[in-house]
Amino acid sequence: MDKGLHFVFCVITTMQLLRESSQTGEKNDPKMLAASKSGFGTYSRGREEGLPTLTVTTILEDPYVMVRSAELEGYCIDLLKSLAAMLHFSYRVKVVGDGQYGAVSSSGNWTGMIGEILRQEADIAVAPLTVTSAREEVVSFTTPFLQTGIGILLRKDTISQEMSFFHFLAPFSKETWTGLLFAYMLTCFCLFLVARLSPCEWNEPKNEENHFTFLNSLWFGAGALALQGVTPRPKALSVRVIAAVWWLFTIALLAAYIANFTALLSSGSEQLPIQTFEDLVKQRKLEFGTLDGSSTFYFFKNSKNPIHQMIYEYMDKRRDHVLVKTYQEAVQRVMESNYAFIGESISQDLAAARHCNLIRAPEVIGARGFGIATTQASPWTKKLSVAVLKLRESGDLDYLRNKWWETSCLHKSRERWSPLQPQALGGLFLTLGIGLALGVIAAVVELSNKSRHAAGHAKKSCCSVFTEEMCTRLRIKENTRQSQETSGRANA
């Protein structure tokens, strides 16, 4: 009897040791990681704690899922932990066998994580899996946990331009320079007009010489732009009002120019020559492509936009050369060759944060989201959607976004520079216009006062004297020429 009990005890001990050894081997396998966790502890099997166990398929992509010290970590792993703690389930994570996200193969079957869910090899897929209409027809998606789009990833030195010969004009836009030229000409004309009308600047037109000719007015305005005092110096109040407003305008304008030009030089280069997908198609220096079989590739294939169709035709004809298999391969190729990668903008932001010589072009198209895929009619779809919404409302998703997208660059990313538009100087141009109007009004008032006094002495109407004064001052060159001819005939 004792020998029988001893035999049974040995058999049970041996089976227990073999079981623990098998669990240890499974735990150390980075491709198949039992990570069933809740808020209170780690569970190797959900059945032992009475919790349902879900098989989760994912894909290795930084920073969503990464292998660190024989364990998986990343944004999706943290998200999975939060969902498990909230919904009380345990899980087992497996990396997708073919390394694909999910697309229809030539045989009509789905590949990647979508295929594993359809074949019931996994219950859910937690990964940077884009929600598309084609995938939605065969599986169900939860509320997106990340919003993204399609962008262009570039290397800075491949898209940098040499400074143009007229680089000094870059701080202002063409519209701003046009407005500045118009304001200069209008101000100089007002100086010329007001100096002729004002009796304080030009009391006796027949006997005095007016220094504010049109050429002198142009010179006076140009001198103010260079912050230099030039002659002639204004005497009348009306002329001084216009001169003071023009000086104020030029000081503010020069300050804006210097500030924007300094920002342009400190940015390291002028605007990116590749701002949009149309710019990418027009250039011939860079090759461009995307992930083979990805939703981005099929977005361009199905798009009716002519630019998008040109991009698809380019990638389809050079499929073996420009399409890449993994995201890591795409980033490496951008860094090492003249290649532009078209892909998820949020992943490109991460690449630009990790590699300081990379940059994403400004345009983003095809707004989309990353969702958790489940089988159709799965009871977990709605539960997971509600849990994702709660995590978003509590700020946990923003925390994870900031945690895994933190930049490793030593310098802070500079803001994109742009030329100064006329709208930014609208108040300055308005002030100049008001000043010019006040100067002209002041000149008319000064001339009216003199005409009133002259009319009293000559016993004429004020209007007739004002009209004579106006005609005399605006036609001074003709009167001077006639007086010179008359004096010449008298001398003869």
Q: Where are the domains of the chain?
A: 51-145+371-412, 149-161+273-367, 167-267, 423-478
What's residue 411's pLDDT?
A: 46
Compute how many other C-beta atoms are within 10 angstroms of the C-beta atom of residue 37: 16
Q: How far is CA 486 from CA 210, 468, 490, in A?
A: 21, 21, 6
Q: Is 157 helix (H, G, I), strand (E, B) or coil?
A: helix
What's residue 45's pLDDT?
A: 33
Closest C-alpha among 43, 129, 63, 54 to residue 94: 54
Binding residue numbers: 128, 130, 135, 295-296, 344
Q: Is 41 helix (H, G, I), strand (E, B) or coil?
A: coil
Fold for domain 167-267?
A: Helix Hairpins (1.10.287)
What's residue 408's pLDDT?
A: 62
What's residue 409's pLDDT?
A: 64
What's residue 173's pLDDT?
A: 84
What's residue 33's pLDDT?
A: 42
Q: Mean pLDDT in runs of 10 for the chain (492 residues)?
A: 55 55 41 36 42 91 85 91 92 90 88 92 92 91 92 79 66 86 91 82 66 83 80 81 89 87 65 81 90 86 92 91 89 91 89 86 88 92 94 92 76 56 81 86 79 68 70 57 46 45
Pairing of strands 124-125, 53-58: parallel
Domain formed by 149-161+273-367, architecture = 3-Layer(aba) Sandwich (3.40)
Closest C-alpha among 475, 473, 474 to residue 205: 473
Binding residue numbers for L-glutamate: 128, 130, 135, 295-296, 344
| DSSP per residue, 277-308 | HHHHHH-SS-EEE-BTT-HHHHHHHH---HHH
- Cβ distance 170 to 418 under 8 Å? no
CATH superfamily of 51-145+371-412: Periplasmic binding protein-like II (3.40.190.10)
Residue with tokens 């166990």: 53
Residue with tokens 């100049």: 432
51-145+371-412 shares its CATH topology with 149-161+273-367: yes
Q: Is 141 helix (H, G, I), strand (E, B) or coil?
A: strand
Locate all alpha helices (DSSP H) within 267-414, ordered by sequence.
277-282, 295-302, 306-317, 319-322, 327-336, 345-354, 380-394, 396-404
- Cβ distance 172 to 257 under 8 Å? yes
